[in-house]
Structure 1
Amino acid sequence: MSDVLAALTAGIRTEPLDGSSAAASGIAARWFVPGRIEVLGKHTDYAGGRSLLAAVDAGHTITAVPRGDRALQVHSEGADGAVTLGLDEASARPAEQADAQTAEQTDGHWGGYVRTVVERLEKNFPGRLRGADVTVTSTLPLAAGMSSSSALVVGLALALIDLSGIAADPAFTREITTTEQLGEYCGTIENGQSFGTLAGDRGVGTFGGSGDHTAMLCGRRDALVQYSFCPVRHERTIALGPELTFVVAVSGVEAEKTGSARDDYNRVSLAVAEILRRWHEDTGRADASLADAVAGGPAAVQRLRTLVAADGYLVGRLEQFLAESERIVPAAAVALEDGDLAEFGRLVDESQAGAEDGLRNQVPETSSLQRLARGLGAHAASAFGAGFGGSVWALVPTADAEDFAARWLDAYRAEHPERTRAAASLARPGGAARRLAG
């Protein structure tokens, strides 16, 4: 059992405190949840593919203090306003009303993520949630590809599960016995899918996977982790020595998954669903993921290519997945493990090209950052996250990291002077989410 699930189940409060006893107890749940760098594995997780991930040393701290009523108040120091929810009202709200309110709040307001977490936990574990005053503080850049929104989902879920003793609920223990499964469940909170007998809800309106959530819950300090998905399976851990550091450059183009940007993001994921639909119709098989279809036999890949041949975007999407998941991720992990940084960099360049030509989710700014980083001598560099903005990572010698960050940012600003919010910072793998002393 890994540390996150062990922390949730150690000294668990099996019965929710009620009324004034909850507020008087002074018990608080406090968690740190890191952001993540998706080193490789662009849009592979929800297709059952592979990713190479790092949990970084910046993130959200979520503190939940029990109240004497069934109300939840959430305040974020990094965002405007506060969110107040009546838990009994949330559980009784008709589905169509909940859908409308969630859609309204996720279109440009962080409160939609709060409501999504609360309504899903209340639906799956009715009556267990305690009222709480929740505070969110953060060292993580917002809307910059570091997955601040998923970190909020994971952090709220951990704090509320912890405070309310949900990890002792039979519905929880029946479905979630590993931290990997907890990560997958958190992914379904966000995308709205069911997880075993834990029924899904609307989610936040984006059709993503659980790669971000897995990185945050299962990352290792001073190492990268390779996972495959649907279901989540650990495949490899690769140490990252102290001589190497990630420099993360924020492009200044916000990588939002809300409002109009959500349609662009969903086009990438819905393309996978369409490929799989055609596969099911043509073969009569019931493969749960694109990766399962690819593994369906020696002729499977050619059959898939035939099924999408008339649609240029689906062709590019399929080829990007095949290259990224089946070849680039495992080969790059081996190259990094062997210390072959030249080969690692070559494979990462190929991944970046797949994002630009296959996913078509890059903007000129992220493409420029990747090209400039390589020109300035980075061992490897790639855009990461949902795309359509966000950040680019560069892997450089630690001794040169601060100077590299300054030179990289100067070169980028010379090409894109309008991006006044561009910034660069250093990051190392900092380990998984962890419970903090109250």
Structure 2
Amino acid sequence: MKWFVPGRLEVLGKHTDYAGGRSLLAAVDRGITITLEDSDKGFRASTTAVPGELELTPGTPSELPKGHWGNYVQATLDRLHLNFGELKPARLVIDSNLPLASGMSSSSALVVAVALAVIDHNDIRERAEWKANIHDDIDLAGYMATMENGLTFGTLEGLRGVGTFGGSEDHTAMLCCHEGKLTEFTFCPIEEGTSVDLPAEWSFVVAVSGVLAEKTGSALESYNNASLRARELAEAWNDATGREDAVLADALASDEDALEGLRAIAASDEGLTKRLTAFVTESEVAIPQAVKALQAGDFEAFGRAADLSQRNADEQLGNQIPETNRLQALARELGATASAGFGAGFGGSVWALVKTEGATAFADKWLAAYVAEYPKVAETASTIVTRPGGPARRL
């Protein structure tokens, strides 16, 4: 059997999902294709990107080095084994046309692809424990996110995951977005909001900065710190008010004066103050402005909302680097209607919204201007042109 799982484009929504905030998302027209074949014994996994084949045993540590792609496969097998018992042996062959460590979430796409294939291979959807916890694609996205962050989902017990303290944005985009549309979601729990058509005359150009943003590599501590600071804010709020709000968004929604109260709680800690400002600006200001602009067909206003998101990410969230800031500025200077960095940050990519008919020429000009300023990334920086694609599907 074969499954295709798209990468995702986080149009806006930097580090908002795990705190219960908004994201504006699209699946893209590139992704991972996984082929599953029967096997006589155990699990074997390979990728067309590198030679060799891994031998993996569900429930048994693989001892692969940190950052190895096989850790995502192992974590997925381990979680399914824990929740649903013995798994039938299989051989997995993975092919991808997503740029690695670029913010388009190749790692989460790998988790989703492996999970979907193994779930079908074992008829897990027919199990009573599956039916008790997973009723639709929204639930499925939430469950697959816990394969990475290690949390329990309903009665499906959690496991160590891959060491990231992230949310379910990536998995939601891959399973629940719609072809040709940008969709707003809120999280904790996941709820689908407004979908807006992106006319065929518009396309996204994605520039990969060439600076790796590997959540299992050197950026892991910084990535997780953004999550931990949001959690710290919610805990401080609960301590001060006696409430039991699960995430930062719940605290903000609890009372019309909650923002003022949270600012007072964070006032003595510059890091917490910036984290609060980053969340509120992105989730409560930039994204509502962007959705309203798209509904009205006002792409200039959409561009201003994206500019706000980029400044906020740089000055408050602190997850941008000189390369991604310059890519965003260059895109605007070269005539992009809108542009912003996306993904975990600390490297990664920037999108630019341009007219489809000139997208390839824009991509070439953008990359050339960037590499001229940052020649050290000439071998690793790249661009692709993409539009919103459909969700994961069996081929």
TM-score by length of 2: 0.98
**CA deviations over 1:261-307 (Å, ceiling 9, x no partner):** 21111111111111111112111111111111100111111111111
Residue of structure 2 equivalent to 1:283: 241
CA distance, structure 2, for counterparts of residue 289 and residue 314 of structure 1: 14
- 1:256 matches 2:228: no
1:108 match: secondary structure: coil
Of residues 369, 376, 383, the one that matches 1:424 is: 383
Gaps of 5+ in 1: 1-28
Q: Distance in 1 between matches of 2:248 and 2:88?
A: 39
Task: Report the counterpart of residue 66 of structure 1 in structure 2.
Answer: 38
Q: 2:161 aligns with which of 195, 203, 207?
A: 203
Give the counterpart letter for 2:48 in structure 1: E
**Secondary structure in structure 1 of the residue aligned to 2:210:** coil
1-structure distance, mates of 2:356, 2:80:
42
The CA distance in 1 between the partners of 2:285 and 2:65, in whole Å, is 36
Whole-Å Cα distance in 2 between the matches of residues 79 and 125 of structure 1?
31
Q: Which of residues 107, 125, 137 is equivalent to 2:95?
A: 137
Instruction: Report runs of 4+ in structure 1 exceeding 6 Å deviation.
Output: none
Structure 1 residue 83 displacement after superposition: 2.1
What secondary structure, in the 3-state scheme, does the structure 1 residue paired with 2:34 have? strand
Structure 2 counterpart SS, 1:64: strand
Match of 1:355 in 2: 313
- Structure 1 residues 321-400: aligned runs within 5 Å: 321-400=279-358
Q: Give the structure 2 partner of residue 435 of structure 1.
A: 394
3-state SS of paired residue (1:326): helix
Residue 182 of structure 2: which of 200, 215, 224 is its match? 224
The correspondence of residues 76-91 of structure 1 with structure 2, limited to 5 A, is 76-87=47-58, 90=59
- 1:106 offset after TM fit, Å? 6.1
Partner residue, 1:115 = 74
* Cα pair 1:106 1:259 within 8 Å, conserved: no
Alpha-carbon RMSD across the aligned residues, in angstroms, is 1.1
Aligned length: 394
**Aligned positions of 1:235-314 closer than 5 A:** 235-314=193-272
Q: Distance in 2 between matches of 1:105 and 1:192?
A: 18
1: distance between equivalents of 2:147 and 2:307? Answer: 33
Aligned residue identity for 1:55: A
Query: Who is 1:45 aligned against?
Result: 17
> Match of 2:120?
162
Counterpart amino acid of 2:331?
A: A
Larger displacement relative to structure 2 (354-363 or 256-265): 256-265
Whether contact under 8 Å (1:255, 1:388) holds in the other structure is yes
User: Residue 123 of structure 1 aligns to which amino acid in structure 2?
Assistant: L
Aligned to 2:359: 401
Tell me the CA shift for residue 358 of structure 1. Answer: 1.1
Secondary structure at 1:155's aligned position in 2? Answer: helix
The C-alpha deviation readout for 1:202-257, integer Å capped at 9, x for no partner, is: 01001000000000001111111110001110011100000100000010001111
SS in 2 for 1:162: helix
* C-alpha distance in structure 1 between counterparts of 2:19 and 2:57, whole Å: 36
Task: Look up the equivalent residue of 1:54 and give its one-letter code.
Answer: A
Identity of aligned residues (%): 52
| CA contact 1:106–1:258 (8 Å) conserved in 2 | no
Q: Do 1:106 and 1:204's aligned partners in 2 also have CA atoms closer than 8 Å? A: no
The amino acid of 2:43's aligned partner reads: L
DSSP 3-state at the match of 1:61: strand
Structure 2: segments with no counterpart, 5+ residues: none
The answer for the alignment partner of 2:64 in structure 1 is: 105
Between the aligned partners of 1:286 and 1:351, the Cα distance in structure 2 is: 30
Aligned residue in 1 for 2:28? 56
CA shift, 1:80, in A, is 5.0
- Aligned partners of 2:27 and 2:13: how far apart in 1? 14
Q: Which residue of 2 aligns with 1:12?
A: none
Letter in 2 for 1:57: D
- 3-state SS of paired residue (1:62): strand
Structure-2 separation of matches of 1:409 and 1:259: 25
Secondary structure (helix, strand or coil) at the match of 2:167 reads: coil
Whether contact under 8 Å (1:349, 1:380) holds in the other structure is yes
Hey, what does 2:105 align to over in structure 1?
Answer: 147
State the TM-score, normalized to the length of structure 1.
0.88
